[in-house]
Amino acid sequence: GAVVSQHPSWVICKSGTSVKIECRSLDFQATTMFWYRQFPKQSLMLMATSNEGSKATYEQGVEKDKFLINHASLTLSTLTVTSAHPEDSSFYICSARDLQGSQYEQFFGPGTRLTVL
């Protein structure tokens, strides 16, 4: 149980284009999903908290107009990187909190490797 998927697992795009990453909870409902970014040899940095049916909450320093988050249902959240640039290249990981589970346990997806040329 508690499986989270991400799609795509990797993507290469040209500078200036937009990329959408999907995060799905496969066997549970998640009112809250989280988006993290991880640079090489660094830890996970929280970018934003996504709540179903309401606007996402962004961490300080994360541009909300650049990283668009939509939490359309209890099992799906999407992150769109708009007008991507090479410095946006990173490993993006989502996590989800089980509606029925502990308030503090998060289950992570396998990550999406974004490379912007």
Partner 1 sequence: EDQVTQSPEALRLQEGESSSLNCSYTVSGLRGLFWYRQDPGKGPEFLFTLYSAGEEKEKERLKATLTKKESFLHITAPKPEDSATYLCAAGGSQGNLIFGKGTKLSVKP
- Per CB under 8 A, residues contacting partner 1 are 2, 4, 6, 32, 34, 41-46, 49, 91, 93, 95, 97, 102-111, 113
Separation between Cα atoms, residue 54 and residue 34, nearest integer Å: 14
Tokens of 59: 């961490």
Smallest separation (angstroms) from partner 1 to the CB of 77? 15
Separation between Cα atoms, residue 98 and residue 102, nearest integer Å: 7
Smallest separation (angstroms) from partner 1 to the CB of 31? 11
Q: How far is CA 76 from the centre of its chain?
A: 10
Residue closer to partner 1 by CB (options 14, 102) is 102
Residue closer to partner 1 by CB (options 12, 18) is 12
Cα dihedral 67/72/75/80 (nearest 10): -20
In single-letter form, the type of residue at position 32 comes to T
Smallest separation (angstroms) from partner 1 to the CB of 109? 5
Smallest separation (angstroms) from partner 1 to the CB of 40? 10
Residue closer to partner 1 by CB (options 45, 62) is 45
